[in-house]
Amino acid sequence: MRKGTRLALIFATIPFLTLVFALPFVNRIEPVILGLPFVLFWILLWVVLTPAVLWAAYKIEKKHNPPGDEDRR
Amino acid sequence: MNAALLIILATIVCSAVVGIYAGRRVKMNLENWTVGGRRFGILIIWLLMAGEIYTTFTFLGASGWAYSKGAPTYYILIYGTLAYTLSFFILPELWKLGKRHGLHTQPDFFIRIYGSRFLGVLVAVVGILSIIPYLQLQLAGLGMIVEVSSNGAIPSRLAILLSFGLTCAFVYTSGIRGSAWVSVIKDVMMIVAVVVVGLGVPRIYFGGISNMFRSLISQRPDHLVFPGAAPTMDTLWVMSTVLLTGMGFYMWPHVFGSAFSAKSDKIIKRNAIIMPFYQIPILLVLMVGFSAFLVLPGLKNGDLAFLELVHKTYPSWFLGFIGAAGAVTAMVPASILVLFASTLLAKNVYQAGFNPGASEATVMRLSRAMVLVITTTALVFALLLPNALVNLLLIGYDGVSQFFPGVVLGLFWKRVRREGVLCGLLAGLAIVVVLVFGRHDPFLGMNAGFVALVVNGAVTVGISLFTRPGRHY
């Protein structure tokens, strides 16, 4: 696997860590943030941050994977 | 004639006209009909994918779950986001392969990668069996929305016949191009409807979203954390369900297939980055469900919470607008479901299974004929046998999710073998059927489809490793 893709994959674990594996630790109402119960706030926060995470992954992948050396199938 | 009726009928007819117009002066071969000639730019891909992903379930199901189950409904916010993250890696590779080999459908991919027509036919059959009940669900949702929102002026059956007949017409003439154009109307109307109601309802009854949650927290705090009002849907269920549905999302044949219609792999990758923004309207839909929980307690059918609350709150012409938005929200996904079910039947069951020598023109003609067959079948089930396919619907998502190992390993792991994929897929499907129909879902607190997917993945990898190295396909 090319280096850029490997780095991008590391970024991509962030939504899985926050939105799946962190759920048992955030399943509560307090503290209420922006009027939302904490668990809903947490989920919403990471849903909205995911485009930023993916955008960073995109930039890093582009930087480390020079065009033209694609592996052919 | 009342205003609601007029708005609903005008929207349905206009959408169909736009859909039919979309295909004018395009020479309709299979390439243009199923994947739009692989020419869609980022805006149209974004609208199309949102168009097919946000179905009547967005209106009725998400708010219905917020109403009747509470916190487990949060899973809807999560799984899409996970699916888009996965699609960032999967879809561009898939697109490149599709471009290089001229693939149109999901079974095309399996046949190409694994050199097994049998596997292709199996994938096509499972896909079609999952699509038909899903299609029927869209029709039933459409009928319910239009009937309630026109105050009974348009009976459910008439609404279904009219709008689905017109949908069938624009699929026949324009293929995916028709769906893409109608998506524009659909997405705009849906967003307006959801924003107005999602912000309006909590404001009108509670003076804002924060106040609505304050009342809910003081009265029923347990409704807002897992497992809410559904004891079997605790945190472990949510975790396994978002993993399953996140992985299964792009395995639906119609969602998978529409990835091929992008102009380039870059477009599809950039699209994955912006897709999560489409989750925000879902949050607003949940607000409506939670508001209804306090304002209209004791509804028998939670799926009606959204419509009942709008009915109670807004003038009838606005209810008509909601009905119109609901109708196109069913028409767009229905059109793509019909399109891909027809192509699967013609190209991957008939051509791949029985007549490999059939010409592309024959397959194209047959695909179009199948539009009528699939439409009629779905109508018969929706109008005459509404409960016949309930069992299939239960396992639809679990079923298509079982394609995930075959797709991902086929793209990224050179060691995977068709024997492994076939055994894994069969094992996964068998476990789904046994657990779901044996009433063992959830299984050990986890979604049964997820359990099946784990076994499927292990079998696929295990058997691939034990099969001779080097493949000749």
The pLDDT value recorded for residue B193 is 93
Nearest beta carbon to residue B77 from set A43, A55, A58: A43
**Quick one: pLDDT at residue B209?**
94
Residues of A in contact with B217 (CB under 8 A): 29, 32, 37
**pLDDT tens sequence across B252-284:** 999 999 899 999 999 999 999 999 988 989 999
Q: Which fold has domain B3-387?
A: Sodium/glucose cotransporter (1.20.1730)
Residue B56 three-state SS: helix
User: Rounded to whole angstroms, how far apart are CA atoms B232 and B186?
Assistant: 35
Domain boundaries, chain B: 3-387, 402-473
- The CB-side HSE value for A14 (13 A sphere, CA atoms) comes to 18
Q: Which three-class secondary structure state does DSSP give residue B42?
A: helix
Contact B347, B123 (CB under 8 A): no
Q: Which of A35, A55, A58 sits opposite B210 (nearest CB)?
A: A35
**Structure ipTM over 0.90, yes or no:** yes
B88–A12 C-beta distance less than 8 A = yes
Under an 8 A CB cutoff, do B213 and A36 touch? yes
Residue A73 reports pLDDT greater than 50: no
Best mutation target, A32, A40, A41, A59, to test chain B (most B CBs within 10 A): A40
**How confident is the model over B372-421, as pLDDT tens digits?**
999 999 999 888 887 777 777 778 899 999 999 999 999 999 899 999 99
Angle between helices B176-206 and B280-295 (to 10 degrees): 40
Diameter over CA atoms, chain A: 52
Smallest CA–CA distance, residue A5 to chain B, in Å, is 9
Average pLDDT, chain B: 92
Mean pLDDT of B82-88: 96
For residue range B211-251, list pLDDT tens digits in order: 999 999 999 999 999 999 999 999 999 999 999 999 999 99
The closest of B137, B211, B249, B183 to B36, measured between CA atoms, is: B183
Check A51 against B280: CB less than 8 A apart. Answer: no
Nearest to A39 among B71, B211, B279 (CB): B71
**In the predicted structure, residue A72 carries a pLDDT above the cut 60:** no
Task: Name which residue leads in pLDDT, B335 or A5.
Answer: B335
Count of CB atoms situated within 10 Å of the CB of A55: 14
Spatial CB neighbours of B269, under 8 Å, sequence gap ≥ 6: A58, B88, B91, B92
A49 CA: distance to closest CA in chain B (Å): 9
Cβ–Cβ contact B415 with A under 8 A? no
Mean pLDDT of A5-26: 95
pTM across the whole model = 0.93
Please tell me the distance in Å from B235's CA to the nearest CA on chain A: 6
Over the stretch B323-379, which tens digit does the pLDDT of each residue have? 999 999 999 999 999 999 999 999 999 999 999 999 999 999 999 999 999 999 999
Contacts of A39 in chain B (CB under 8 A): 71, 74, 224-226
- Predicted confidence at residue B1, as pLDDT, reads 54
Q: Who's near B168: CB < 8 A, 6+ residues apart?
A: B338, B371, B372, B375
Under DSSP, is residue B129 helix (H, G, I), strand (E, B) or coil?
Answer: helix
